[in-house]
Amino acid sequence: MSRTPLDTVEHAAATPDVELPWAELGLKKDEYERVVEILGRRPTGAELAMYSVMWSEHCSYKSSKVHLRQFGEKAPQSDALLVGIGENAGVVDVGQGYAVTFKVESHNHPSYVEPYQGAATGVGGIVRDIIAMGARPVAVVDPLRFGAADHPDTKRVLPGVVAGIGGYGNCLGLPNIGGEVVFDACYQGNPLVNAGAIGVMRHEDIHLAKASGAGNKVILYGARTGGDGIGGASILASETFDDAKPSKRPAVQVGDPFQEKLLIECTLEAFAEKLVVGIQDLGAAGLSCATSELASNGSGGMRVTLDDVPLRDSTLSPEEILMSESQERMCAVVEPDKVERFLEICDKWDVIATVIGEVTDGDRLEIFWHGGKIVDVDPRTVAHDGPVYERPYARPDWQDALQADDAGKLPRPATSEELRDQVLKLVASPNQASKKWITSQYDHFVQGNTVLAQPEDSGMIRVDEESGLGVAIATDGNGRYAKLDPYTGAQLALAEAYRNVATTGAKPLAVSDCLNFGSPEDPAVMWQFAEAVRGLADGCLQLGTPVTGGNVSLYNQTGEAAIHPTPVVAVLGVIDDVARRTPVAFQEEGQLIYLLGDTREEFGGSAWSQVVHDHLGGLPPRVDLERERLLAEILISASRDGMIDSAHDLSDGGLVQAVVESALLGGKGARLIVPDGLDAFTLLFSESAGRAIVAVPRSEEVRFNDMCGARGLPATRIGVVDGDTVEIQGEFTLTLAELREAHENTIPSLLA
């Protein structure tokens, strides 16, 4: 209910002494004073609502901004980059006139509170970012992290999250083509639910979030606005600011994927008819964000009449309407003579659409309610001039001891028997086990363009039916590596995603990331963050893959205990003809298995050290990005020229994990010989980076060897595809049936 008198701009100017609940809304004293200074008076309740949400950590990136700048400063020269950081999502040229947009975002905290809806609305949000760029969404991915697999709460959170991601994505008609599932006690209480989406468009269809052209109309369309996710704003809705009683507003947002599917279709139809000047999705901070960003990115100002916003709950106050995070809403800027057609399209799709304002030739964002002006601000000060913190950071004092606790000193299997048991234990461990129970809850086939989906190294989508042009995406992160060394850990995540894309035959082009960390107010966490960003930015520069956008999720911690620093990296690649893609599964008996790259004694942060010794210490594997680039070139050439029939990158779990996966997927075994200079244990379990296995038809062996030799990539023949066992000569033999049982039963027996 609105206060009497309405807290208009005039009223605010006339009542400078009214105390506003800025602290309750999460603003610091100096931030509030800055608002007063910007406005030259106290803010109205509505203005305070806008500044407080837009200047929150989530919207303003106030703790992370100073570090994220490196992504721009160190951005590699890339002809492929069409739209970089700062827009809803980055856009990359993939050739033949096509552009691809992609991004990863987090929905961590909401998914802990209400796993199904939290995860579902996470998918909804990232997909709206993609639509807002002008693209048709074509796929989603979902990197997920949970507490210990056998913890009772994991049984609550994981099935709900998976059902929510599936429930939303399946209903939208988006194939789920990749992701991760990682279990670690450090995520207990702070599961990480990251969601990524890819969209495809023609170059000329790229749209940006800006409102230009005085007289153009601002149209809000999609779901009605309810009291979702308002949180602190309810204080502003009380009769007087000081007599604040918490009003009954839901903290959890419920998603409606059906509504979002209609939003996709009607938005794309409006794009196709060139009806849209600028567009913005409504996500965090709802209308506050959409109006201030549209206005500040455009050339003029904007005038909005809040009374015209369609409401689900008629008791909402203007402040609440501005802060509401109701899902499935978009905001478009449309020229006056095209408004009618725009509304017709919305009507065709049964989508509610309302003109709520217009672009003005001033430079102010003005918002009216019941005839009074309740907001009059420079939109740039809301959207872009938020506080920037140089938070103190310091290498934690425990880091040295952690790194000194070398995993190389852990006892190794003494007998072949023990080695065999550890292999079985590894492939059955929750992190290495098959995730089929989870991924079979996702539609991989819808849209009819899925070339590769899980459990392949990267997901791959055909973009053009005629030419076979396709895009690939892989997401990776390893919190254990990053905990040991955040700089290297971030680069290893990048290297792994890059390698996964190349393993399927696609050329890596660009990067998006989701940076999940603990509290930035802890200097140790802030150091992890700073190091990870530096590592990622340096790595992207070296690999020539620009960061096009991403997301930061901080405060993932319970009390003093932060999660492992967890930078999740998504790499997007392009392939000229999807007919040349390389699958993981062994295809034919008799093909030769080659190990590409160097294998060193590297066990720090390894799956083996975790599964067998419950140990985390030492240094993560070394990174050599030049080697990664060379490996990628070889994998891509080999796929293009038909020299290999399957390939699998080596990462956590090492070579044995990869061989077992390729064997089980293909239903064909392998006979391996330990090459000179290596022992069986190191061959099987080392996690040295920059490696892959490939299966080479005998007829291609000479050509393949020549290529590797000429370009200086170590390629070692380690065995042959054969039979229905995995045999390590002189050590042990495991049948595919045994391996399958170990690999595939773990997750269902924990969760089903």
Ligand X SMILES: Nc1ncnc2c1ncn2[C@@H]1O[C@H](COP(=O)(O)OP(=O)(O)O)[C@@H](O)[C@H]1O
Please identify, among the stretches 404-412, 449-457, 505-513, 734-742, the one whose residues bind ligand X according to the rule CB under 6 A.
449-457
Burial class (CB in 10 A: 0-12, 13-18, 19+), 468: middle
Find the binder of other proteins among 57, 142, 443, 652 (CB under 8 A): 443
How distant is the alpha carbon of residue 664 from its chain centre? 29
User: Binding residue per annotation — 274?
Assistant: no
Nearest Cα to 717, choosing from 672, 680, 681?
Answer: 672
User: Binding residue per annotation — 203?
Assistant: no
Which sign does the torsion angle of CA 425, 429, 431, 433 carry? positive
| Residue 628 near ligand X by CB under 6 A | no
State yes or no: is 58 an active-site residue. yes
How many residues at the interface with other proteins, by CB under 8 A?
52
User: Binding residue per annotation — 507?
Assistant: no
Number of helices (H) and strands (E) in the chain: give both, helices first: 26, 28
Nearest Cα to 358, choosing from 217, 479, 550, 452?
Answer: 217
Please identify, among the stretches 446-454, 615-623, 666-674, 724-732, the one whose residues bind other proteins according to the rule CB under 8 A.
446-454
User: Binding residue per annotation — 61?
Assistant: yes
Which residue is listed with tokens 């023609």? 202
Report in angstroms how near the CB of residue 182 gets to ligand X at its nearest: 7
Q: Determine phi and psi for 303, rounding to 5 degrees.
A: -120, 130
Active-site residue (options: 11, 107, 207, 743): 107
The full DSSP string for 665-721 is: HHT--EEE-PPTT--HHHHHH---SS-EEEEE-GGGHHHHHHHHHHHT--EEEEEEE
CB 320, CB 230: distance < 8 Å = yes
CB 661, CB 500: distance < 8 Å = no
Total residue length of the chain: 752
| Residue 329 near ligand X by CB under 6 A | no
State yes or no: is 151 an active-site residue. no
Active-site residue (options: 58, 67, 564, 648): 58
| Residue 744 near ligand X by CB under 6 A | no
Query: Which is closer to Mg ion, CB of 280 or CB of 651?
Result: 651
Find the binder of other proteins among 88, 259, 280, 686 (CB under 8 A): 259
HSE, CB side, 13 Å, CA atoms: give it for residue 661.
29
HSE, CB side, 13 Å, CA atoms: give it for residue 210.
13
What residues from 339 to 378 belong to the interface with other proteins (CB under 8 A)? Answer: 348-350
Instruction: Select from ligand X, other proteins, Mg ion, none the partner in contact with residue 645, using the beta carbon and a kind-dependent cut-off of 5 to 8 Å.
Output: none
How many residues at the interface with ligand X, by CB under 6 A?
18
Find the binder of Mg ion among 88, 500, 657, 682 (CB under 5 A): 500
d(CA 552, CA 103): 12
| Residue 467 near other proteins by CB under 8 A | no
User: Binding residue per annotation — 519?
Assistant: no
Query: Which is closer to ligand X, CB of 8 or CB of 439?
Result: 439
Please identify, among the stretches 14-22, 159-167, 493-501, 650-658, the one whose residues bind other proteins according to the rule CB under 8 A.
159-167
List all residues 6 or more positions away from 402 whose beta carbon is below 8 Å from its beta carbon. Answer: 483, 484, 616, 617
Site map 167..186 versus other proteins, x via CB under 8 A = x--xxxx-------------
What separation in angstroms does the CA of 390 have from each of 331, 370, 487? 34, 42, 19
Instruction: Select from Mg ion, ligand X, other proteins, none the partner in contact with residue 350, using the beta carbon and a kind-dependent cut-off of 5 to 8 Å.
Output: other proteins
Q: Detail the DSSP E strand segments found in 241-378.
A: 278-281, 301-305, 329-334, 353-360, 365-369, 372-377
| Residue 568 near ligand X by CB under 6 A | no
Tokens of 42: 């106290």
Report in angstroms how near the CB of residue 739 gets to ligand X at its nearest: 15
Q: Detail the DSSP E strand segments found in 436-487.
A: 450-452, 459-462, 470-476
What residues from 323 to 342 belong to the interface with other proteins (CB under 8 A)? Answer: 326-327
Find the binder of Mg ion among 57, 205, 358, 457 (CB under 5 A): 457
CA dihedral 197, 200, 203, 207 (to 10 degrees): -50
Query: Which is closer to other proteins, CB of 223 or CB of 570?
Result: 223
| Residue 142 near ligand X by CB under 6 A | yes
Report in angstroms how near the CB of residue 607 gets to Mg ion at its nearest: 13
Report in angstroms how near the CB of residue 648 gets to ligand X at its nearest: 8
Find the binder of ligand X among 457, 513, 522, 602 (CB under 6 A): 457
| Residue 466 near other proteins by CB under 8 A | no
Other Cβ atoms within 10 Å of 93 Cβ, number: 18
d(CA 546, CA 302): 34
Please identify, among the stretches 174-182, 239-247, 278-286, 593-601, the one whose residues bind ligand X according to the rule CB under 6 A.
174-182
Find the binder of other proteins among 122, 166, 286, 597 (CB under 8 A): 166
What angle do helix axes 115-132 and 257-272 make, rounded to 10 degrees? 0
| Residue 221 near other proteins by CB under 8 A | no
Beta-strand pair 365-369/372-377: antiparallel
Instruction: Select from Mg ion, other proteins, ligand X, none the partner in contact with residue 167, using the beta carbon and a kind-dependent cut-off of 5 to 8 Å.
Output: other proteins
What residues from 121 to 150 belong to the interface with other proteins (CB under 8 A)? Answer: none
| Residue 204 near other proteins by CB under 8 A | no
CB 336, CB 397: distance < 8 Å = no
Report in angstroms how near the CB of residue 450 gets to Mg ion at its nearest: 17
Tokens of 21: 């609940």
Report in angstroms how near the CB of residue 452 gets to ligand X at its nearest: 8
Q: Determine phi and psi for 306, rounding to 5 degrees.
A: -65, -25
Q: Cis peptide leading into 455, omega within 30 of 0?
A: yes
Find the binder of ligand X among 439, 449, 491, 551 (CB under 6 A): 439
Tokens of 669: 């075994």
Report in angstroms how near the CB of residue 155 gets to other proteins at its nearest: 10
User: Binding residue per annotation — 221?
Assistant: no
| Residue 176 near ligand X by CB under 6 A | yes
| Residue 154 near ligand X by CB under 6 A | no
Other Cβ atoms within 10 Å of 142 Cβ, number: 31
**Which positions lie near other proteins, rule CB under 8 A?**
113-114, 117, 163, 166-167, 170-173, 223, 226-228, 248-254, 256-259, 261-262, 312-313, 326-327, 348-350, 439-451, 462, 465, 468, 578-579
**Which positions lie near ligand X, rule CB under 6 A?**
142, 144, 176, 178-181, 435, 438-439, 454-457, 476, 500, 649, 651
Residues labelled catalytic: 58, 107
**Which positions lie near Mg ion, rule CB under 5 A?**
457, 500, 649
Q: Which segments are annotated as binding site for Mg(2+)?
A: 105, 129, 281, 551
Q: Which segments are annotated as binding site?
A: 61, 103, 105-109, 128-129, 253, 281, 325-327, 513, 550-551, 553
